[in-house]
Structure 1
């Protein structure tokens, strides 16, 4: 369905029992709501009502031109506005990659709207910041961001039938095709890359300690986030906290290990 919020139109994919506890699903780059498809049957069978949001840059009706419109303040405000439009007072939040970043900000700034948080792959921003400052290996893992922020990023990622994008997503097999194809929509890849171009470390440094029940899921084969950043997240949660390590899994957890993620999510939600 289409949800109008903040002057934009967001595509939201709903499912599960209409009277079930609400779950807001927030995707990352370069995916969209479909990255959660493999865990949805388990969530619905458990009686949960899910809302998978195509975030700004991905929903065709939510692609503002200015880079500043993609600072993390904006998708965080989007999520609250979408919940308001849906009439959802409080939701369990599950986020992967950039969606996890948004989840951390939601839990920090709007804890009254977040029942629980399951953050996947990306740790608490402050923990990540400490690792980037102290761990040369974590800085190296983030070297790709310079390219994603550059003016040539769109051309490079889409060249030769999106070879680079497909290579990034190789661990999810044929499912990579849907994302590579979608990125050819006018403005979609630029909107997605603007999340990287709008990064401001100063604002991320202001994210405080989390006071809602939280699970952080990290995979030891993730080329983006190292162990030090993952372990540091515990310092930034002042509520029931669980740290789950998935062995032999890469960055694309919802599609590489959907059953394990479904188990962790249901355990956190408590159903």
Structure 2
């Protein structure tokens, strides 16, 4: 494979995104998409294991998180816009189709990219969050609505920023989801301290627009036609089994569903070796 220059940033939609580009420069590229409320540093335990297998990783700080990519207004954070960011990164890399892995909101973006821009991808690994259409169906149930109470709270103006900027309140909320003390401290530095909280919440506030199709191109209801592995943990307090199991109906390609027992929502932080092993089974085929 041709050796490629390192990519530290790229531009799209009038925004500038920071990228952590690591691993063998001539390795097959894997794009890693973080979720809420984390940044590209969340892949610190997973990426080196992919490098050891000869893969190159590109982990952007996404829309709302990169200091040069924090637009105002919820319409700027719809999944269609985010898919455009991912496509711009892949096209800027210029290495052909890539492997794609995402966690949490990064998984939603990865599912949507695979559904709407399959020509950009060699394979998909989605972690924790199910296919958007499966999630929408699960949200019609009492169990998933109960788990997703915070999504409604995040629609409110300024109050979520106020609450999640307070260390004690944020620590209780994030700790209840399974984050340990070190992860909560990183959230304080990288999200609150760096001014990324409002942009991070923008992804949630754009949900009603995405559901109505107002942000366009998200691939919300489309089926995925690239080889896919979906990884879910049964200790996830935010995401129940129904959405996880329904995701299979939205993939018309080789599909694997991996359940990690006893783990919380934060699979990449909690079990990087297990996640990397599952991902490599897909990426090295």
Could you tell me the TM-score, scaled by structure 1's length? Answer: 0.95
The reply on whether 1:84 has 2:94 as its aligned counterpart is: no
> Displacement of 1:97 after TM fit?
0.4
Question: Which residue of the partner structure matches residue 147 of structure 1?
Answer: 153
- SS of 2:139 mapped into structure 1: helix
CA distance in 2: counterparts of 1:205 and 1:82, whole angstroms? 18
C-alpha separation in 1, matches of 2:129 and 2:174: 21
Cα deviation for residue 172 of structure 1 reads 3.5
Which stretches in structure 1 are left out of the alignment for 5+ residues? none
How does 1:37-186 map onto structure 2 within 5 Å? Answer: 37-133=44-140, 135-151=141-157, 152-160=159-167, 162-164=170-172, 166-168=174-176, 170-185=178-193
**Aligned partner (choices 248, 255, 258) of residue 262 of structure 2:** 248
CA–CA separation in structure 1 for the residues paired with 2:139 and 2:174:
27
1:16 to 18, 23, 29: 23
Could you tell me whether the CA contact under 8 Å between 2:21 and 2:57 is conserved in 1? yes
1:221 has 2:235 as partner: yes
The Cα shift of 1:132 comes to 1.4
Gap runs ≥5 in structure 2: 1-7
Does the aligned pair in 2 maintain the 1:25–1:95 contact within 8 Å? yes
Partner of 2:276: 262
Counterparts in 2 of 1:164 and 1:61: CA distance versus 1, 3 Å:
farther
Q: Which residue of 1 aligns with 2:212?
A: 202
CA contact (8 A) 2:39 2:190 kept: no
The 8 Å contact of residues 104 and 119 in structure 1, kept in 2 or not, is answered as: yes
Assess, with a 3 A threshold, how the Cα gap between structure 1 residues 205 and 129 changes in structure 2: closer, same or farther. farther
Once the two structures are superposed, residues 148-202 of structure 1 have per-residue CA deviations (whole angstroms, 9 ceiling, x without a partner) of 2212000001114543455356533413211222222464100000110010323
**Aligned in 2, Cα 1:260/1:160: closer, same or farther, shift over 3 Å?**
closer
Q: What is the CA-CA distance between 1:82 and the residue it aligns to?
A: 1.5
Instruction: Please say if residues 221 and 249 of structure 1, whose CA atoms lie closer than 8 Å, have aligned partners that are also in contact.
Output: yes
Q: Which residue of 1 aligns with 2:5?
A: none
Distance 1:205 1:78 in 2: 14
1:126: Cα distance to partner?
A: 1.2
2:248 is matched with which residue? Answer: 234
**Contact persistence 1:10–1:53 (CA under 8 A):** yes
1:139 Cα deviation after fit: 1.0
**45-54 or 79-88, which moves further after superposition?**
79-88
8 Å contact kept, 2:233–2:265:
yes
- SS, match of residue 260 in structure 1: helix
Please, what TM-score do these two structures have when normalized by structure 2?
Answer: 0.90
* Greater mean deviation of Cα atoms: 157-166 or 113-122: 157-166
Shift of 1:2: 2.1
2:230 and 2:258 in contact (8 A); partners too: yes
Taking the aligned partners of 1:127 and 1:170, their CA distance within structure 2 comes to 24
Note the aligned Cα RMSD (angstroms). 1.6
